A and B are shown apart, each in its own frame.
Chain A
Amino acid sequence: MKHRNQTGTLWLYPVFAILLLLTTVLSLLSGSAVFTLPELWGGITGQSGYETVHFILYSLRLPRILAALIAGVGLSVAGVLLQNIMGNPLASPNTIGVNAGAGLTVVLFLTLVPSGMLFLPFAAFLGAFGTSLLILAVSGKTGGGKGTVVLAGIAVTTLFQAVISFFSTLDTDVLSLYTSFSIGSFQGVTIERLLLPGVLVTGCLVCALMLSGQIAVLSLGDGMASSLGVSVRKMRTVCLLLASLSAAAVISYAGLLGFVGLVVPHMARKILGTDIRSQLIGSAFLGGILVMLSDLAGRVLFAPSEISVGIVMALIGAPFFFCLLLKRKELPDAELS
């Protein structure tokens, strides 16, 4: 099998950019109310007679499109980082406990401060980021190996899930709110709420690109990376923090979107090869497109009812992932590192 090197796949980036643009236009046009292209133009430019279109575009659809884009980029980048530095094809933001951590703080917050819904995103962010810091600290005590990180993640996730179940059982309102948080949705998102997550996700992507050489060496394993001049523990910690920050930023407004961080890095590797820079850029594009399409499908398929993007993602992601696994016969482990 010929390796797809970085220069050999450069032509795909304009294709991804065009696909992203088309998906954006399609998402702006479609929904409970379907617009024509002239209506879209009138609404975007704020012409008179198109006030309703203008309102729907700027207040409802554009924030959702941006939310989907940021979520796709943030979770995919986190997935690429985690799968490469852990050498584990099943690594995703959930591996480092961000979902369980966010879930726990959300449930605690809903139980203790039921009227403080405004601060729920901060609670989710703190829970997600704080939990990954806790896992890092625990694994750091025992040498900071990638196996220890995964085991610490499993232990913390199991513990937190038990606490979540306990509090959810006590209060059905909490259970209902937690369930919608755990499915993941972009409903009610505003541009203002997206500013900070957008900056954090972009910053993490830029940092990851700047560290791509070190990440590539780290994917060869700790011993090899160390003899090639990588400060293994330091670099793994930095990458875990970037992944955690990126995922936590998304979870703060979107809830627990499953599968993006797991599936999209595999798609990117399949299409673009194993170069880390290509994986990062490709995953950012593909993640954005996939989440936007899922959100669009959720809005359109059963309009005026709406299906949460998390459900659509799982419905698309799981079969797709299954197909990927079946097509991987000839190189069972080769593309996983």
Chain B
Amino acid sequence: MLNFHDVSVSYGNRTVLEHISFTLTPGRITVLLGSNGAGKSTLLRCVNGMQTYTGRIFLQDTDLKTMSSRERAKHIGILPQILPQTGFSCRTLVSLGRNPYTGTAGRLSVSDRNRVQMAMETAGTAEFADRHADTLSGGEKQKVFLAMLLAQDPSVMLFDEPCSFLDTAARGQVFSILRDLAYCHGKTVLLVLHDLSEALEIADDVLILAERTIVFSGSRTECLETEAVEKWFGVKRYFCTNGTDSRIFFR
């Protein structure tokens, strides 16, 4: 469980986030929505220690500020929106996910290697394990970094636009992995998504960030009932029915 308690972020005199409080629950997928520049990525940066903030973020009962980077990384993993360029092979890259558990020289044990292999297979990247990561397409690269996060195996997983470079089939695959992580492995999953229809499709819980704070926090059903998405994003809700399958989309 990850609990944000009255978190605020300012750059000089400019306040970016104000009095943010919410709780992420294990075994559920929470989607964080917000327009461009709302502060979603800033909020994620608070969690990995790259952003100074006031207030507190608790992992269970432990304040994140009191945890070492290594200890924090064993429990919380983040997949950023902008992935770094790297000269490493995919396997090497995925194996870096085991960093919180290895020594400073980064030597992997047999169980580390097994976990790396398993992560690559789960993310569907085993076939290009020995390829140079920067020769991959944007979508393939995104899957390799997902495999790295799976190898890291934290209990709280935060994803910033994990599907931005993926085609429809690959998006389905990634969502299926995320559901598996939350529902079968009890992971706490937070997704930052821009596609409102897609967000409402996968979300158990929804957070809407606007006007520097959380303006809506509730379950997917509550979000639909209160028309929170329509209100905060100025869109209309449509239903697309194909036989027995009915889907919501926003425009």
A residues contacting B by CB (< 8 A) are: 1-3, 5, 209-214, 216-217, 219-224, 226-232, 269, 273-275, 277, 331, 333-337
Please determine whether B104 and A5 come into contact, CB atoms closer than 8 angstroms.
no
Is residue B77 within 8 Å, beta carbon to beta carbon, of the partner chain?
Answer: yes
Q: Given A1-B135, A229-B99, do A212 and B106 touch, yes or no (CB 8 Å)?
A: yes
Which of chain B's residues have a CB closer than 8 A to the CB of A230? Answer: 69-70, 99
Chain B contacts with A in 124-166, Cβ cutoff 8 A: 130-132, 134-135, 152
Which of chain A's residues have a CB closer than 8 A to the CB of B105? Answer: 209-213, 277
Q: How far is the CB of A191 from chain B (nearest CB, A)?
A: 32
Partner of B130, one of A3, A222, A228, A269: A3
Which of chain B's residues have a CB closer than 8 A to the CB of A212? Answer: 104-106
Please determine whether A3 and B96 come into contact, CB atoms closer than 8 angstroms.
no
Q: How far is the CB of B209 from chain A (nearest CB, A)?
A: 19
Q: Specify which of A3, A229, A336 lies most central, judged by the most chain B CB atoms within 10 Å of its CB.
A: A229
Complex Cα–Cα for A205 and B99 (A): 21
Listed A/B pairs (6) with beta-carbon separation below 8 Å:
A216-B88, A217-B106, A227-B77, A227-B80, A229-B69, A335-B87
Complex Cα–Cα for A336 and B152 (A): 25
Q: Specify which of B45, B77, B104 lies most central, judged by the most chain A CB atoms within 10 Å of its CB.
A: B104
Which of chain A's residues have a CB closer than 8 A to the CB of B68? Answer: 231
Please determine whether A5 and B130 come into contact, CB atoms closer than 8 angstroms.
yes
Q: Given A228-B152, A229-B70, do A336 and B50 touch, yes or no (CB 8 Å)?
A: no
Which of chain B's residues have a CB closer than 8 A to the CB of A334? Answer: 85-87, 132, 134-135
Please determine whether A221 and B70 come into contact, CB atoms closer than 8 angstroms.
no
Nearest CB in chain A to that of B129: its residue:
A3
Partner of A223, one of B76, B80, B91, B92: B80
Partner of B87, one of A213, A217, A337: A337
B91-120: CB near A (< 8 Å → 1, else 0) gives 110001101101111110000000000000
Please determine whether A2 and B48 come into contact, CB atoms closer than 8 angstroms.
no
Complex Cα–Cα for A304 and B152 (A): 62
Q: How far is the CB of B221 from chain A (nearest CB, A)?
A: 32
Please determine whether B135 and A226 come into contact, CB atoms closer than 8 angstroms.
no
Q: How far is the CB of A244 from chain B (nearest CB, A)?
A: 19
Q: How far is the CB of B222 from chain A (nearest CB, A)?
A: 31
Please determine whether A331 and B132 come into contact, CB atoms closer than 8 angstroms.
yes
* Contacts A226-B50, A229-B73, A331-B135 supplied; 13 other A-B pairs, CB < 8 Å: A1-B131, A210-B104, A220-B86, A223-B80, A229-B71, A229-B72, A229-B100, A231-B70, A232-B50, A274-B86, A333-B134, A337-B84, A337-B88
The 5 residue pairs across chains A and B that have the minimum distance between CB atoms: A213-B106, A229-B73, A3-B89, A274-B87, A229-B100
Q: Specify which of B72, B73, B86 lies most central, judged by the most chain A CB atoms within 10 Å of its CB.
A: B86
Q: Given A216-B106, A337-B84, do A275 and B92 touch, yes or no (CB 8 Å)?
A: yes
Chain B contacts with A in 42-62, Cβ cutoff 8 A: 45, 48-50
Q: How far is the CB of A331 from chain B (nearest CB, A)?
A: 7
Complex Cα–Cα for A274 and B70 (A): 24
Please determine whether A229 and B74 come into contact, CB atoms closer than 8 angstroms.
yes
Is residue B78 within 8 Å, beta carbon to beta carbon, of the partner chain?
Answer: yes
Complex Cα–Cα for A40 and B142 (A): 60
Q: How far is the CB of B161 from chain A (nearest CB, A)?
A: 14
Please determine whether B72 and A220 come into contact, CB atoms closer than 8 angstroms.
no
Please determine whether B132 and A1 come into contact, CB atoms closer than 8 angstroms.
yes
Which of chain B's residues have a CB closer than 8 A to the CB of A226? Answer: 48-50, 69
Q: Given A213-B104, A333-B85, A334-B87, do A3 and B73 touch, yes or no (CB 8 Å)?
A: no
Which of chain A's residues have a CB closer than 8 A to the CB of B70? Answer: 229-231
Complex Cα–Cα for A226 and B96 (A): 12
Which of chain A's residues have a CB closer than 8 A to the CB of B131? Answer: 1-3
Which of chain A's residues have a CB closer than 8 A to the CB of B92? Answer: 3, 5, 216, 274-275
Which of chain A's residues have a CB closer than 8 A to the CB of B76? Answer: 227
Please determine whether A3 and B132 come into contact, CB atoms closer than 8 angstroms.
yes
Complex Cα–Cα for A219 and B71 (A): 20
Q: How far is the CB of A265 from chain B (nearest CB, A)?
A: 12
Partner of A269, one of B78, B87, B107: B87
Which of chain A's residues have a CB closer than 8 A to the CB of B91? Answer: 3, 5
Q: How far is the CB of B37 from chain A (nearest CB, A)?
A: 18
Which of chain B's residues have a CB closer than 8 A to the CB of A219? Answer: 86
Which of chain B's residues have a CB closer than 8 A to the CB of A269? Answer: 87
Q: How far is the CB of B110 from chain A (nearest CB, A)?
A: 15
Q: Given A1-B132, A228-B152, A334-B132, do A223 and B48 touch, yes or no (CB 8 Å)?
A: yes
Which of chain A's residues have a CB closer than 8 A to the CB of B104? Answer: 210-214
Q: Given A213-B99, A226-B49, do A3 and B88 touch, yes or no (CB 8 Å)?
A: yes
Which of chain B's residues have a CB closer than 8 A to the CB of A222? Answer: 50
Complex Cα–Cα for A1 and B96 (A): 21
Which of chain A's residues have a CB closer than 8 A to the CB of B96? Answer: 216-217, 220, 228
Complex Cα–Cα for A223 and B131 (A): 24
Please determine whether A331 and B89 come into contact, CB atoms closer than 8 angstroms.
no
